[in-house]
Structure 1
Amino acid sequence: MDRVRRSYGTAVHRPPVSRNHIPHQNTSFDHDSGLVYSEVEVSGSGSHNSWIFDYKTPSIVRARPRLPTATGARPLAHMALIKLGIESQNLTVEALQNLPWSIGERIWQQITDKYVNMRPRSPVCTLTPFSHAESFYIWRTFAIAFGSDFGHSGNRYMLDLRTPSLPLIEYYKGINSGKSDWLTCLRVSPKQITVPELVSISTINNLTVLDLSDGQLYIENRESTFDARIMRSWSELADAGRAFQSLRVLMLGWQEKIDTWIFDMLDGFPHLSIVLFTDCRWIHHKNHKDWEDDAWKHGWNIMPSKRGTKHLRSLLDDKAFYPASISNLHYESTRMAADAAQEPVKSIPDRPLLECWLGTPRPWRHVIDEFPGTRTVYLQKQLRPKVGGGITRPVLSDTPAVKREPSSPNTSQAKRPQGSISSKRRVAKHSAASLLAEMS
């Protein structure tokens, strides 16, 4: 395993160097110039994956404890924890997986508290803050070693790589987990990436939340690479069981090419339960009559404008994590699945959660800062309880069940529930007319 050196005062990252590095030195003589020189060969593991070991990525956001002030010698266990925190980059899955979580939790707490002893020989127990002590490498190691025990929402990790120096496919490999030891929430801007990079998102097996958000002013002159062809290829891969098997939430922001064709292709994603649109030209609440029938036929319930925006605001405005983070939407989809299965949320084991922003996709800050409007559409899949346990695909607790005619078993001919937008308006209009008639 690569060793990473660190400066205790500033947490400066240096590229990993091979532990077994032995410089090879030869002395040579140049007959033309008469100079004697030495040749040194240095072999390293390469720095292309140094971002995985980087300390400068945004760490877990939490309230920092005050500096403890105590005198006297520390307990031996405390000194061992400090040493593990300092040498955390040398920890491996094999070294941790046999430990009980009660001990692993103390080690992780020591790493994230970011306090190390700068004066070990001093009688005063002085601890100094050590910024960004946990790297993505050590978080990933804990996620693999402890699994669902490490899946508490307070242990989420955030990667905000605003200026990627590598092709995005290399970052996809880093945040991907073939065995789904952790789940990934990804936010990218289709205007900033190429078509192959956008298609390759399907290689992320553990993707649970995908946010495709454009809208940055300095890239408005570029055309978005997301269109019906990309969505169709993703839908076919998901329907064949080759990709997007963990995807639960899809967010589409400032996508001008989206139209009613999106609902046909959403059927291919087996576990998709939440779809969000914002500032999409052809899908918003003002023109709901043009698309809500298609949404209902494919099993999607539409939240009213103000209610949906307020509900989304509570999920995006997370004071305990990263500003405008999207990972809470994963927990919302888990709650929906628990409600459909008629089980408590705590009974469903969750996996560690990683959130990654690549480039500068536009965060949905308007949902948090502005008054609820008609620009954001919140759709939820009709999840119905399965007889005998489990969940079947295509319910909101406040939505009436679908009523079908005996001769029409298809959902495409199902009647829209009375709680939909158009039904509410027709009922209100009819009631007003009846009232005027009675008054006359």
Structure 2
Amino acid sequence: MQYDRESGQVYTQEVIRVAPSSRRLKGFAWVHDSPLLPAGWEAYSPVGAHSLKHMAMRAVLSDQRTLSTAHFKGVPWSIARYLWECVCRSKRTSLYLWKIFATAYPAEFNQISHRYLLKPSSKKMAVTNYLKLLSSASVDWTAVVSLSVELFEPHEFLEVANVRNLIGLEIRTQPKRTEFGYEATVSVSDRVIKGWSEQALTGQAFEHLQILVLRLQTGLTEHMFAYLNAFPTLNAFLMQGCPRLYSKEAREMAEKHGWVPFVVHYSDHSLYKIIENMDSELESQTQDCRLMCIDSLPVVDFSLYCRNLRSLHSEEQILFRRKYRATDHLSLQEKKAQKTHNGSDIAPSQPDSKQNKRVVKESCKKDMKGLLDQFKYDSP
């Protein structure tokens, strides 16, 4: 705190960087968005000069890369709302600025811009970079993510765990047309689900994941249900077009681990809409059985699919709802390993030292006798 002797006021002084760093100038945040106002946008007024408020607005929004959450510290919501309305009017909304407002004004901004839809027409950078754009370690907003398996590099599947604010995840495959019809060529496997569950057990990943949707994943088996209980908040698992998960064995395995199957008829176009429909259908149930209300925080609705997705209308959808939480398979393995480890810490029983000495002594006597006998027969 500083004191001004002339005015008698106490104040604080803070320097905020205005010029964007080189990382922001060329960062992946602007692959699909533009940080600049359109050239000449509202530069001139049809009647007289623009107000000082309008000119200040154009100066602030001229380059969004210069802005950060710190710039809005102490700025009234009424001014921030005016800036956002101007951005919308100029058609220069960006995920970057949306996240700043969602962090600085969580309750107020959620009322006017609850959902940010990010739906690129094509992949222009690595999936890992898209996931970084969505992530919020402090959960200032949530994320609903839908991706095609074909867009992943093998090492990128585990990167999904870095989206700490993830509440909904959909993975699907785009089948290719062959002479025998459509066939899924790539798929996630039980190993991927196991990898995610291991990350969830650390307490540093998937803390808020509530619904998992897997479509056309031919590599999954009924054994995947053994790993789902590692996700602490997962309450719903929707499956469609996964051949081995329709079997009797799969349903028995699901029920064994606390999941109850239902046949549903949701549209396969939007995971966000599925979550909304689930909440509206389950309003009469207890809060523990429902998904978290998706309206409670701002949400980024991100989807990146391969083009020309085949309709899955003919494929039956099975929704597995969590009835109770069974002990997950990995936790049992850890307990067994810990028990074995503790058992190995006990000092092994020591053999009788006298018995060892006696055996060694007798052996030495026998060897010496044989040696003397050899000299006896070898002597002339």
TM-score range, shorter chain: 0.5 to 0.7
Describe how 1:30-69 pairs up with structure 2 within 5 A: 44-45=22-23, 49-52=27-30, 54-55=32-33
Pair 80,47 (structure 1): closer, same or farther in 2 beyond 3 Å: closer
AA in 1 matched with 2:270: S
How many residues are treated as equivalent by the alignment? 297
RMSD: 4.0
Q: One-letter code of the match for 1:377?
A: I
- Cα deviation, 1:27-84, whole Å, max 9, x if unaligned, reads xxxxxxxxxxxxxxxxx54765244364269xxxxxxxxxxxx977776656655655
1:147 alignment counterpart: 106
Number of the residue aligned with 1:217: 176
2:286 alignment partner in structure 1: 340
Provide the residue aligned with 2:303 in structure 1.
357
- Find the counterpart in structure 1 of residue 231 from structure 2: 269
Give percent identity, aligned residues only. Answer: 21
Q: TM-score, normalised by structure 2?
A: 0.64
Displacement, 1:88? 4.4
Deviation at 1:214, TM superposition (A): 0.4
Q: CA deviation at 1:347?
A: 9.1
Q: What is the alpha-carbon distance in structure 1 between the residues aligned to residue 50 and residue 303 of structure 2?
A: 40
The match for 2:346 is: none
Task: Report SS of the residue matched to 1:201.
Answer: helix
Partner in structure 1 of residue 320 of structure 2: 379
The alpha-carbon distance between structure 1 residues 377 and 222, as it changes in their structure 2 partners (threshold 3 A), is: closer
Cα shift readout 1:263-314 (whole Å, capped 9, x = no counterpart): 2211111111221111111234xx5x4433333333323333xxx20xx23x
Alignment of 1:37-436 (within 5 A): 44-45=22-23, 49-52=27-30, 54-55=32-33, 77=53, 81=57, 84-114=60-90, 131=91, 133-152=92-111, 154-217=113-176, 223-284=185-246, 287=247, 289-304=248-263, 308-309=264-265, 312-313=266-267, 324-331=269-276, 339-341=285-287, 350-358=296-304, 360=306, 366=312, 370=313, 375-382=316-323, 394=325
Task: Report SS of the residue matched to 2:106.
Answer: helix
Q: CA deviation at 1:184?
A: 1.5
How far off is 1:100 after superposition? 3.8
Separation in 2, partners of 1:349, 1:46: 30
* Secondary structure, counterpart of 1:151 in structure 2: helix
CA distance in structure 2 between the partners assigned to 1:291 and 1:353 by the alignment? 33
* In structure 2, distance between residues paired with 1:339 and 1:379: 16
Q: Distance in 2 between matches of 1:263 and 1:153?
A: 39
1:297–1:188 CA distance, 2 compared to 1 (3 A):
same
- CA distance 1:298–1:214, change in 2 (3 Å): same
What amino acid does structure 2 have at the position aligned with 1:360? C
The 2-side partners of 1:302 and 1:45 are apart by 48
The 1:53/1:144 distance shift into structure 2, 3 A limit, reads farther
Q: Deviations over 1:73-98 (max 9, x none)?
A: 77665665565555545332112242
Aligned match of 1:438: none
Task: Flag as ranges the 4+ runs of structure 1 deviating above 6 A.
Answer: 70-75, 218-222, 342-349
How far off is 1:259 after superposition? 2.2
Per-residue CA deviation, residues 133-179 of structure 1 (Å, 9 max, x unaligned), is: 11221112112212243334843112234443433223322222222
Aligned residue in 1 for 2:333: none
Distance 1:348 1:230 in 2: 27
Larger radius of gyration: 2
| Distance in 1 separating the partners of 2:151 and 2:228 | 24
Contact 2:207–2:233, Cα closer than 8 Å, also in 1: yes
- Tell me the distance in 2 between the aligned counterparts of 1:344 and 1:139: 28
Contact 1:273 1:333 in 2 (8 A): no
Name the CA distance, whole Å, in 1 between partners of 2:84 and 2:100: 11
Deviation of 1:186 (Å): 1.6
Q: 1:148 to 1:77 in 2, by over 3 A?
A: same
The alpha-carbon deviation at position 192 of structure 1 amounts to 3.3
Q: Deviations over 1:73-129 (max 9, x none)?
A: 776656655655555453321122423434433322221233xxxxxxxxxxxxxxx
Structure 1 residue 211, shift from structure 2 partner: 0.9
Indicate if the aligned counterparts of 1:259 and 1:283 stay in contact, CA closer than 8 A: yes
Partners of 2:238 and 2:292 in 1: how far apart? 26
Letter in 2 for 1:91: L
Tell me if structure 2 keeps the 8 A contact 1:213–1:363.
no
User: 1:151, 1:267 → 2: CA distance?
Assistant: 32
Amino acid aligned to 1:231: I
Tell me the distance in 2 between the aligned counterparts of 1:214 and 1:92: 38
Q: Flag structure 2 segments of 5+ consecutive residues without an equivalent.
A: 1-17, 36-45, 328-380
SS at match of 2:149: coil
